[in-house]
Amino acid sequence: MTTAKPAAAPSADTSAVPAADPAADRSGAFWNDADRHLIRYGSAFTREIIESAEGSFVTTAEGRRILDFTSGQMSAILGHSHPRIVETVQRQVASLDHLYSGMLSRPVVDLARRLAGTLPDPLEKALLLTTGAESNEAAVRMAKLVTGKHEIVSFARSWHGMTQAAASATYSAGRKGYGPGAPGNFAIPAPNPYRPDFTHADGSLDWRRQLDFGFDLIDAQSTGSLAACLVEPILSSGGIIEPPPGYFAALRDKCRERGMLLILDEAQTGLCRTGTWYAFERDGVVPDILTLSKTLGAGLPLAAVITSAEIEERAYERGFLFFTTHVADPLVAAVGNTVLDVLTEERLDERARTLGEFLRKGLTEIAERHPVVGDVRGRGLLVGLELVSDRETKQGSDELGARVTERCLALGLHMNIVQLPGMGGVLRIAPPLTATEEELALGLSILDEAIAGG
């Protein structure tokens, strides 16, 4: 027999807090409750209570405004509380928010049709879901069913999500201590021009030899059941690593030779962030399956799997099942349509290119002033700045990265740091596409000061 727990005592005695200091009163109780009741799921929580957010800034309980250089979780491409998104949510939630998963609404069909209109042939069939992990889960499930095989290849610095198939294809973090992943998952080296492992005579990355080597190892390990290759066009959590031009065409050929499908995960790169609607456009390579998430909902939980009519038909004939609670929900689909409206009307692909050039120029100037900056890389408004203790040896410094990140926050700039063995401290910079040059300049100024004091 289970007995109810006794009522919890008040989480903090606030009587000792002076009445003239309500902020301390609120934060003391808040952090006591947070520490007592929240399961910790990653790095330590930022010790700021966020009360509101608008545009490129979040505001703390103490009224301090912090410039958000990560677009929330790399998602809020239209900034926080965009008026068009607010209006859509208010209107849609009052009329049609959620349905039985077998029912359809106009926002869902409209969004599927409009997404197809932004993509090259033959990508025209969409499945609307919630998160990036869920979309990758569905894509892998579809690829396995359609090919009749089960082995999945990904980059060694990848991040595709925390559910089973997505986590099994994730190699940048989170693999130890959870028991076996899905069988048949393999990693190939990430082509990192700054830290090349296979080199030409001049020291530059020999990515063709690296790719050949990677697939030689895959072929040696495979049981003959290679289903798909799941990769990001720009590895974000892996340190803003952008494979060189020509790489994805060669990767596609490797997949074709083995009867594999190519799945591109554009969670962070899709929908104008890199200066084009999709990052894969640079390479002229069309994936068999495309997954979108983060940017599609501009901060709300919306994701998509998009594929060809041929692949969808084959999956359907074989009984494809991905019947979830929030598949094809009308509320977030309506938000997705508004996101497409704003991206199109305000030409945010062009804006991302222009602002990206401004940001890159400012970061390059910072690198010229500070020898601890080893590399500046990325595309559009997805940029990485790698901190090193020695430019010649490229010796990374996780400690320096952590100090700079902490100093940025104290000065009013929220940054995101990647700390992986051998990567050093890589600052991931992804401001909203709606940011102004003045806001970018402010962020660059704070970053410059933080590195100088780091």
Highest mean pLDDT (candidates 7-11, 15-19, 24-28): 24-28
Write out pLDDT tens, residues 343-385: 999 999 999 999 999 999 999 999 999 999 999 999 999 999 9
Token pair 């849609």 is found at 92
Residue 280's pLDDT is 98
Catalytic residue, from 265, 312, 329, 386: name it: 265
Catalytic residue, from 125, 159, 375, 386: name it: 159
Catalytic residue, from 144, 294, 377, 403: name it: 294
Close Cβ partners of 158 (under 8 Å, ≥ 6 residues apart):
169, 170, 171, 172, 187, 190, 230, 231, 232, 235, 237, 238
Count Cα atoms within 13 angstroms, Cβ side, for 75: 19
Catalytic residue, from 360, 377, 379, 428: name it: 428
On average, the pLDDT of the chain sits at 93
Reply yes or no on whether the pLDDT at 7 is more than 70.
no
Q: Which residue type sits at 170?
A: T
- pLDDT-derived band at 422 (thresholds 50, 70, 90) equals low
The dihedral through the CA atoms of 341, 332, 136, 258 has a sign that is: negative
How does DSSP assign 197-224, residue by residue? SSB-TTS-B-HHHHHHHHHHHHHHH--S
Mean predicted confidence (pLDDT) in 257-278: 98
For residue 438, indicate whether it is catalytic.
Answer: no
Reply yes or no on whether the pLDDT at 123 is more than 60.
yes
Residue 195's pLDDT is 94
What does each C-alpha distance from 389 to 16, 32, 131 come to in angstroms?
Answer: 46, 38, 37
Mean predicted confidence (pLDDT) in 55-64: 96
136 vs 43: which has the higher pLDDT: 136
For residue 391, indicate whether it is catalytic.
Answer: no
Catalytic residue, from 206, 232, 375, 386: name it: 232
Domains of the chain: 68-74+347-453 (3.90.1150.10), 85-345 (3.40.640.10)
Nearest-angstrom CA–CA distance, 321 and 324: 9
List, in sequence order, every beta strand (DSSP E) within 164-302. 185-188, 226-231, 261-265, 289-292
For residue 207, indicate whether it is catalytic.
Answer: no
> Helix 83-93 vs helix 330-345: angle between axes, to the nearest 10 degrees?
150
For residue 428, indicate whether it is catalytic.
Answer: yes
- pLDDT-derived band at 43 (thresholds 50, 70, 90) equals confident
Mean predicted confidence (pLDDT) in 269-294: 98
For residue 21, indicate whether it is catalytic.
Answer: no
Catalytic residue, from 268, 283, 312, 439: name it: 268
Reply yes or no on whether the pLDDT at 25 is more than 50.
no
Sheet bearing 57-60, strands edge to edge: 50-54, 57-60, 65-68, 413-414
For residue 312, indicate whether it is catalytic.
Answer: no
- pLDDT-derived band at 9 (thresholds 50, 70, 90) equals very low
